[in-house]
Amino acid sequence: MRRASTLPMLFGLALGLAAGLYYSWRVDPVAYIDTDPSSLRADYKAEYLSLVASAYAATGDLERARLRLAWLALPEPAETLSRMAQSRLAASGLETEARALAALAAALGERPLQVLKTPAPGETPATPTASPTVAPTPTRAASPTPSPTPGSAFELVDREAICDPALGESLLQIEVLDAAGEGVPGIQVLVIWDEGQDRFYTGLKPELGLGYADFSMQPGTVYSLQLSQATIPITGLAAEDCVGPEGEPYPGSIQLTFQQPPASP
């Protein structure tokens, strides 16, 4: 009898619940119109990242770029930028973007990014555009990333065979330095061999130096290398013949150091 009396209420409850959920999820769901960049779809996020890098390349304002990247809440921004630089490089016609991405990745590697909280609506926005001072600032902050002197070509200053079994593979290691001896990121390196070619940038492994890049060589293959800002290609590069502590041969590595000549007075 008691069960029979509660049945209508339970039936109404179930019906009401279903209607409420249908209305709130389908008919009139919570509308998000004021979203932040972290909610962007993956392709838009990639475009946003590319835009951050392009803006950084134009202004050299690393703090602003760091803040913009923090809004995206990426777990490893420098690595993401490096991967994007490589994929943009593979796509034809996107070299400018690839270079910008690589330069920003290198700059971030020098000073790792801290993940910031996205400001909530109404909160004081940490907008990089809102200048904390009213005083006009017509000049931009100089880029902390070393950059090559325009017009000066890099020259090969050192070529060294490296026999280090700890490397585990035969590497073509490239170090690009400016006239002051600082590593220069974002320099394109072209490696060519009989069956193919590869292009990459310095600075994509910032933990090894801003001007560092490397390429894995196959034993028995001869490579040629050219920097985008060097006039003379380096030819005849091949894995060095090294001998281990017990007399066993193994393929070694080559280290090439390029540097800009000092600017003439």
Partner 1 sequence: MSIRLRFITGLALGLAVGLLYGWVLSPVRYVDTSPNVLREDFRSDYVLMTAEAYGAEEDLARARMRLAALGSEPPLNYVVAAIDYGLESGYSPSDLQTLNRLAVDLRASPANPEIRAP
Which residues, 149 to 168, sit near partner 1 by CB under 8 A?
none
Query: According to the binding rule CB under 8 A, does residue 37 interact with partner 1?
Result: yes
Q: Nearer Cβ to partner 1, position 33 or 142?
A: 33
CA dihedral 149, 179, 58, 211 (to 10 degrees): 130
Closest distance to partner 1 from the beta carbon of 191 (Å): 28
Q: How far apart are CA 153 and CA 179, in angstroms?
A: 10
Query: According to the binding rule CB under 8 A, does residue 1 interact with partner 1?
Result: no
Nearest Cα neighbor of 205 from 78, 53, 49 is 78
Query: According to the binding rule CB under 8 A, does residue 57 interact with partner 1?
Result: yes
Query: According to the binding rule CB under 8 A, does residue 20 interact with partner 1?
Result: yes
Structure tokens belonging to residue 116: 């910031």
Query: According to the binding rule CB under 8 A, does residue 33 interact with partner 1?
Result: yes
Q: Nearer Cβ to partner 1, position 50 or 202?
A: 50
Long-range contacts of 188-191 (CB under 8 A, 24+ apart): 188/95, 188/99, 188/227, 188/228, 189/213, 189/215, 189/225, 189/226, 189/227, 189/228, 190/225, 190/226, 190/227, 190/228, 191/215, 191/223, 191/224, 191/225
Among 1, 32, 92, 264, binds partner 1 (CB under 8 A): 32
Query: According to the binding rule CB under 8 A, does residue 131 interact with partner 1?
Result: yes
Residues contributing to the site for partner 1 (CB under 8 A): 5-6, 8-25, 29-30, 32-37, 39-42, 44, 47-48, 51-52, 54-55, 57-59, 68, 71, 96, 121, 125, 127-131, 134, 136-140
